[in-house]
Amino acid sequence: MSLNIGSEKRTLSYHYQVQPSRFEEIEFYFLPGKYKLSLEFYEDKGKFHKYDV
């Protein structure tokens, strides 16, 4: 799991290894501001889902 935050572009990338059925259990809380949220999920070392909010 890695968490990278770019202060200049206010970009946040979140990588988390989790089962698709547990996606609804993950919640994100951010400070006020505009962020680009990118979610990438890996299973068996292969990316199978990516969410851009």
Q: Which two tokens stand for residue 22?
A: 């547990």
Read off the pLDDT of residues 1-53 as tens digits, 9 standing for 90 and up.
455 555 555 545 555 555 555 554 455 555 555 555 556 655 555 555 555 54
Roughly how many angstroms between the first and final C-alpha of the chain, as a whole number? 19
DSSP code per residue over 1-50? -EEEEETTTTEEEEEE---GGGGGG------SS--EEEEEEEETTEEEEE
pLDDT for res 14: 53
Residue 11, beta-bridge partner list = 6, 36
Domain segments of the chain as ranges = 2-52
State both tokens at 39. Answer: 């979610």
pTM above 0.85, yes or no: no
